Amino acid sequence: MKIAVFGSTGFIGKKLKSKAEAKGYSVLPLDIRKNIDWKDQLKDCDAVVNLAGHPLFKDRWNDRIKALIYDSRIEGTHAIVQALAGSKVKVLVNASAIGIYGSGTQDCTEESAHADDFLARVCKAWEAEALAAQRLYKIRTVCARFGIVLGKGGGALEQMLLPFKLGVGGPIGSGKQDMSWIHVDDVAGLILHALENEKINGALNVTAPGIVSNKEFSNVLGKTLHRPAFLPVPKLGLYAMVGEAASVIASGQKAIPQKALESGYKFQYENISSALEAIV
């Protein structure tokens, strides 16, 4: 299988490229920021994975950054789908996020209702652009709804580690909110599983089955680092630091990987203890 990967130099893309090549697949790295016609590059590919988009938490959110977050995903995906016309591509796996469900304590499967906040609207528009590949060209399309991705050298954990290492880490607010996390090895594994499994279609929750509360996560991370983890981060302080993006960090989602489990995917890291031990 020849796989074109947009975003192959990012945190998830690097891991996907490594795992795909280890299975004997050919990976074609492509850069969505280069405004060119992708038809020539994609015409001989069997599959496309789109991970491209402006990072959610790189900058403090304002109108300009929110427009970048939105436009980089929607316009980039639109350009990719348009370039698929006449190709032999059989499957597109396009990134999305569990933020589509909003916050809450209810179990969210791939069939759950969508929210209407900023991130949910981004995800809905993003998925609509991707699903045009299925509607227009009969290309099987999977919308990979990522949870909180953990791993070495990137992802959410990289930003969390310093305060914990200094002994001043702890839960956010009450710590009762659910954390739907996943190890980056399983993110790459699930993307490959979706490429290979023709029965997987539409939304796919890319989360581990062992969902924990923010307080549980903080306690396990503290123990793994042999540091205390009892100083709560007040929500107001979080808003002061990162602005509106705090609403995403401070709220919880309980996204169940129903399709992954039903389709037989075997998680490498099912519980948070083994995942954090492997990382730190």
Please tell me the predicted confidence (pLDDT) of residue 63. Answer: 92
Tell me, letter by letter, the H, E, C secondary structure of the chain. Answer: CEEEEECCCCHHHHHHHHHHHHCCCEEEEECCCCCCCCHHHHCCCCEEEECCCCCCCCCCCCHHHHHHHHHHHHHHHHHHHHHCCCCCCCEEEEEEEHHHHCCCCCEECCCCCCCCCHHHHHHHHHHHHHHHHHHHHCCEEEEEEECEEEECCEHHHHHHHHHHHCCCCCCECCCCCEECEEEHHHHHHHHHHHHHCCCCCEEEEECCCCCEEHHHHHHHHHHHHCCCCCCCECHHHHHHHHHHHHHHHHCCCEECCHHHHHCCCCCCCCCHHHHHHHHC
pLDDT at 241: 67
Residue 119: the pLDDT is 94
pLDDT tens-place values along the chain, 280 residues long: 999 999 999 999 999 999 999 999 999 999 988 767 789 999 899 999 999 999 887 788 899 999 999 999 999 999 999 999 999 999 999 999 999 999 888 999 999 999 999 999 999 999 999 999 999 999 999 999 999 999 998 888 887 788 888 888 889 888 999 999 999 999 999 999 999 999 999 999 999 999 999 999 999 999 999 998 888 877 777 777 667 777 777 778 999 999 999 999 999 999 999 999 999 8
pTM: 0.95
d(CA 102, CA 248): 9
Supply the pLDDT for residue 278: 95
Query: Structural domains in the chain?
Result: 2-148+182-207 (3.40.50.720)
For residues 123 and 253, is the Cβ–Cβ distance under 8 A? no
